[in-house]
A = this chain, B = another copy of it.
């Protein structure tokens, strides 16, 4: 399907927002929208000419499979995020939809041409790339030293912050975008530990569990405190 930039929910926040309307229309002609269902893969590690894409809605995970076949989640992608390995000959990681997701995809070659033609776009991607770098380093910091409970508290805190649009406040209630197994993979823990520590956090009064996915933040300050940041 062709792109409909006029009605795109991330038209002001995605990388393409820096383009003039004319430039944007030119790019739109090369792009296609695509919808992924939960669990569907955008591309796999090793793929050549993996597509470039902007996430319009939903959520993706970037993950690697280690030697023993265990998945490790390296990053989450939220709407207006960019995905694509522009300079590597092949993709280094898998990219999979966590929920039903809409993307705006471009062939690698088309996107590289756009970068050459539009310095502002390159600049926007550089900015985004640096933000990704900071996010990855934040995760590294977290998984490096912190206890299981602190890691989990920090992740819940981040999710709560992401769920509320007003970056400074936490959402009082939200649904986990990840299964227990995915949370475990992301934090370098096991499913069982995640389950147990969620129980502990509930006992401590920081959160309440609403069914399998739902989380209610009862005490944001306590949650922040446990996360140790």
Interface stretch, picked from A21-29, A128-136, A201-209, is: A128-136
Whether B74 and A141, one on each chain, are in contact in the complex, defined by CB atoms closer than 8 angstroms, is yes
Could you tell me which A residues sit within 8 Å of B by CB distance? 62, 64, 66-68, 70, 72, 74-75, 85-88, 92-93, 115-116, 119, 122-123, 125-127, 129-134, 136-137, 139-141, 143-146, 185, 188, 228-229
Please pick, from B92, B126, B132, B228, the residue contacting A125 in the complex, using a CB distance under 8 A: B126
Whether B228 and A141, one on each chain, are in contact in the complex, defined by CB atoms closer than 8 angstroms, is no
Chain B nearest CB: distance from A142 CB in Å? 9
Please pick, from B62, B86, B119, the residue contacting A119 in the complex, using a CB distance under 8 A: B119
| B-chain residues with CB within 8 Å of residue A92 when the two chains form the complex | 134, 137
Whether A66 and B141, one on each chain, are in contact in the complex, defined by CB atoms closer than 8 angstroms, is yes
Whether A127 and B87, one on each chain, are in contact in the complex, defined by CB atoms closer than 8 angstroms, is yes
Given contacts A122-B119, A145-B72, A228-B67, contact A136 B130 (CB under 8 A): no
Given contacts A72-B144, A115-B123, A126-B126, contact A137 B136 (CB under 8 A): yes
| B-chain residues with CB within 8 Å of residue A130 when the two chains form the complex | 85-88, 129
| B-chain residues with CB within 8 Å of residue A144 when the two chains form the complex | 72, 143, 185, 188
Please pick, from B115, B137, B229, the residue contacting A75 in the complex, using a CB distance under 8 A: B137
Whether B137 and A229, one on each chain, are in contact in the complex, defined by CB atoms closer than 8 angstroms, is no
Given contacts A122-B126, A123-B122, A129-B130, contact A70 B143 (CB under 8 A): no
